Amino acid sequence: MNLNNNDTEREEVFYRYFRGELTPEEKTEVATWSNASAENQQELEKARIMHLDLKGLAFYKNVNLHEVDQSWEELKKDNKIKSIHQPPSISFTFLKYAASIALLLTSAFVIYYYQTQSDLPLESAFEEISLASTEEVREVTLPDGTQISLNLGTCIEYMEPFQNNERRIKLTGEAYFDVAKRPKQPFVIEVGNTEVRVLGTKFFIHKPSANKLNVQVDEGKVLVSHNEIHQLAETGEQLTLDLQTETIVETQDETGVSSFWKTRKLVFNETTLEEVLTAVNEAYGESIQLEGATAGCSLTVTFDDEEFENVMEVISSTLNYDFVEDQGSYILKGTGCE
């Protein structure tokens, strides 16, 4: 499968992609091609819209007009709807407009009735969207204008269009949200059994371990709920949910490690060496072992988009420690700072 071939072959791949006929490897190839450029993303989005249009057209073509009339009569009878007879003085122009309105109302009724009363699946009206980040941080924009940064290994799922007067998505992994403000349509994120509910704000969802979940608010307010526990977080605050004890407590992330995957920034202000190494290990996905004394050792420095080797060079030279690599693992050796 080569998506760089002619338009006809690419359109055939898109058609099979949205029908769910591609293999997992082929789906990954489409996602990689889409992430390669903004133009590719736009082309894939146009193909998705075309797919929805075709599904809608197929739905209307399969509707039996006699059944529609019969269903309309049944609906009127069940809901005691009376026919309204207009006086004979109504103009021909008005009748034309009335006929147009009636056609629109009938179309709306057909969609509603066949989705709720017939065997027609709901997928005819709604599309389940799944977006994932595999090789690098991915930036996505939802139909409502909400912007999301997905960390590596992160996936979101949602129905398009959003349903039930809310914007609900499912999150697996870590993400940064810049939620479009819609006061009458809350934005709800499901992370397992936990819900984060907002109206319009900017915040991180960070998972430092299997049993911990952090919600760090940059702007606005969010409500974190887990089973019967509910707690509000405002600008500059961070909540940590312990899934084992099922408790939510206010915490601080002075180093910036929770948001490092997006900001690429670590801040240390008289931070102990042990805390520095804990943050560096988590931020860079390493496992630095510490040997020797650490008494009196602290660090005040800001790392902004620095490579791991540069960070460790600064730490070791500042504190007069030795930093060595031993068969793929790293060791920091020293005698303390007193």
Give one DSSP letter per residue of 97-160, joined into a string.
HHHHHHHHHHHHHHHHHHHHTSS--GGGT-EEEEEEESSS-EEEE-TTS-EEEEPTTEEEEEEE
Q: What confidence score (pLDDT) does residue 54 get?
A: 54
In the beta sheet, which residues pair with residue 233?
A: 222
Local confidence band at 49 (pLDDT 50, 70, 90 cut-offs)? low
**Can you tell me the mean pLDDT for 212-221?**
93
Report whether pLDDT(87) > 80: no
pLDDT confidence bin for 33, thresholds 50/70/90: confident
Rounded to whole angstroms, the Cα distance separating 190 from 280 reads: 29
Residue 78: its pLDDT value, please? 52
pLDDT confidence tier of residue 125, bands split at 50, 70 and 90:
low
* Alpha carbon distance 219, 226 (integer Å): 22
> CATH 2.60.120.1440 occupies which residues in the chain?
128-249
DSSP character at residue 306: -
**Interatomic CA distance for residues 174 and 152, integer angstroms:** 8
- The secondary structure of 18-46, three-state, reads HCCCCCHHHHHHHHHHHHCCHHHHHHHHH
Say how far apart CA 51 and CA 16 lie, in whole Å. Answer: 10
pLDDT at 273: 94
**Between residues 99 and 252, the one the model is more confident about:** 252
| Cβ atoms of residues 179 and 197 within 8 Å | no
**Collapsed DSSP state (helix, strand, coil) of residue 182:** coil
- What is the Rg, in whole angstroms, of the alpha carbon atoms belonging to the chain? 28
Architecture of domain 128-249 in this structure: Sandwich (2.60)
| Least confidently predicted of 11-15, 88-92, 267-271 | 88-92
The whole-angstrom separation of Cα 207 and Cα 252 is 15
| Per-residue model confidence (pLDDT) at position 5 | 64
* Eight-class DSSP state of 296: T
What's 208's DSSP letter? E
Listed in order, the ranges of the chain carrying CATH 3.55.50.30 are: 264-335
Q: What is the mean pLDDT of residues 199-217?
A: 90
Across the chain, mean pLDDT equals 79
Mean pLDDT on 32-43? 78
- Percent of the chain exceeding pLDDT 70 equals 75
Q: Are 293 and 336 in contact (CB under 8 A)?
A: yes
| 259 secondary structure, DSSP code | G
The sign of the dihedral angle between the CA atoms of 303, 305, 306, 308 is positive
- The domain 264-335 is placed in CATH, from the list 3.55.50.30, 3.50.50.60, 1.10.3210.10, 3.60.21.10, at 3.55.50.30
* pLDDT beyond 70 at 86: no
Quick check: 229 pLDDT over 50? yes
Per-residue confidence (pLDDT) for residue 119, from 0 to 100: 44
pLDDT of 6 above 60? yes
Residue 171 pLDDT > 60, yes or no?
A: yes
Structure-block tokens of residue 252 = 């601080």
Q: How confident is the model at residue 326 (pLDDT cuts 50, 70, 90)?
A: confident
Residue 115 has pLDDT above 50, yes or no: no
pLDDT tens-place string over residues 296-316 = 899 999 999 999 999 999 999
